[in-house]
Structure 1
């Protein structure tokens, strides 16, 4: 049994709301967090070191646990507070166990890694998750990952497909980094501070140019809440990742791909758009939903939590779960897509026919 240290904590409020083009984002609709149950923090021992997690609720035999993984430059609070504090999302998550994962050394208040510490590879970060699943008695997970976290969850699903029931992958880039990318990153790091090196990974050029309130807030949060040495180790490892070994069935001999339902999400003005489109081309179109969010930059879960919550609700319904009132699996199978009248949703293999949220209110 994996060892664990745990204590209760009070969830923080979302970051300040951002205004884009004079129009309020969904963050204006975020209500103060109303705890459905007590949150607990855990430090879990895995074959590749200790991993920090925050959980709410208990594992259920008839439902997957929602497991999240954040992007580089963030932690579970900076990455997911706005989404999980959104009132509509709480109506969903009260029926599921929620487990937020922090990459090693990225959680708020983390001690600096010792000198000579070898940060886990991206494959090893994925290999740490079975210890978490086993520790909490989770049968299957429904993963929500952003950027590096999306890559880790996709890798986990390729390695342990029976543990994954579904994935929501935001801003995923399935490609590895070549030596030119590595050299460019090294040169950029020599002339820029670490937060300024990472911000273009998180935000669109438009957001950075306009120096929005959201960008300023996150620059400050990265500077003040994440250990810089630990962050550099995670950033270096992400930038040395190898390509996800997956291809659409039939396109390559002995190809493998994600077997579970997948929802790919990217903003229409996001630095990750090209990578998400590439990932879409590698997945089975019969169980993949491509969601391109209109009027959204690099972090749609922050700027448009309401739209993403609605999409997530329909994703769950498509998998056969009732997300409104009843807390049980549908006996009659998945909800027909025809019932999804308030969100343009399509299963697609190309961006040109992808569904898109139009930015109108729910």
Structure 2
């Protein structure tokens, strides 16, 4: 048995379900991804500036993994820890090109670019942006390349919409925590509250509640108090680097999502 296998088994055996996580460092783990081969590009879309981070050579014939993050978090916090963990033990991702797509204006230190009539991102429009990005901006010949979509939470609806509109585009999808229904009554009420506060210039209070509600979205079961506070502060540091108005557009677009029906799923090959 190889040394790498022994180390992996030792690590897995140390993960006990009732063990407290006393050494959690979300920020550091999200930044350990190797950046030496990363290429960062920005493109203008109908919804604003979209940033794309590419690991690997797009001109190669390797299959491509496309990622899109959940609400209020960039690909750094959403996907880097996963790829860091896997690449620590396996070399499988050497045989893929990784393309991280952040929502328009939802990358670090993005500027707010208001466009007339756009108060929320329409998911059909966002899926059109991705299709244009793949076929026109990055010039990926998806007919001869295997494209695999990787989504979490809100982005699952986006990938499903894209696959329904372009059934032959994706070879496969990995969707974690997808929701096929329209917004719940709680989400609907929050959306209405956002509209009211924006019209009455009291939106800062609701925005603070919004940011506070994102942490339980990623950690629904809080651990011990000390570790919970560390996680909270780490994510607040990440939130502080994002333009909250742009994030709110993504969030409101998700609240106004359309139902994914069985017929929609049947259209996906």
| TM-score relative to the length of structure 1 | 0.55
Cα distance, 1:33–1:201 mapped onto 2, change above 3 Å: closer
Specify which structure has the bigger relative contact order, considering alpha-carbon pairs within 8 angstroms and separated by 6 or more residues.
2
Aligned to 1:128: 129
Aligned to 1:221: 238
1:173 partnered with 2:172: no
Aligned to 1:93: 93
Select which of 16, 19, 30 maps to 1:21.
19
1:41-120 to 2 correspondence within 5 Å? 41-46=40-45, 49-59=48-58, 62-86=61-85, 87-88=87-88, 91-114=91-114, 116=116, 118=118, 119-120=120-121
Q: Which has the higher helix share?
A: 2
Deviation at 1:38, TM superposition (A): 1.9
Conservation of the 8 A alpha-carbon contact between 2:75 and 2:101 = yes
Partner Cα separation in structure 2 for residue 113 and residue 89 of structure 1: 42
Q: Partner of 1:120: helix, strand, or coil?
A: coil
Deviation at 1:21, TM superposition (A): 3.1
Partner Cα separation in structure 1 for residue 104 and residue 207 of structure 2: 26
Conservation of the 8 A alpha-carbon contact between 2:25 and 2:231 = no
1:228-239 to 2 correspondence within 5 Å? 228-239=244-255
Two-structure CA RMSD over aligned residues (Å): 3.3
Partner Cα separation in structure 2 for residue 46 and residue 102 of structure 1: 12
Aligned residue pairs, count: 232
User: Which digits, 9 at most, give the CA deviation of each residue in 1:287-311, with x for residues without a partner?
Assistant: xxxxxxxxxxxxxxxxxxxxxxxxx
User: Which digits, 9 at most, give the CA deviation of each residue in 1:68-96, with x for residues without a partner?
Assistant: 00000101112112112233477222211
Aligned to 1:137: 139
Give ranges in structure 1 of 5+ residues lacking alignment.
1-18, 248-253, 261-362
Partner Cα separation in structure 2 for residue 67 and residue 52 of structure 1: 13
1:1-362 to 2 correspondence within 5 Å? 21-22=19-20, 32-34=32-34, 38-46=37-45, 49-59=48-58, 62-86=61-85, 87-88=87-88, 91-114=91-114, 116=116, 118=118, 119-134=120-135, 135-138=137-140, 139=142, 140-178=146-184, 181-184=187-190, 186-187=192-193, 190=206, 192-207=208-223, 211-222=228-239, 224-245=240-261, 247=262, 256-257=265-266, 259=268
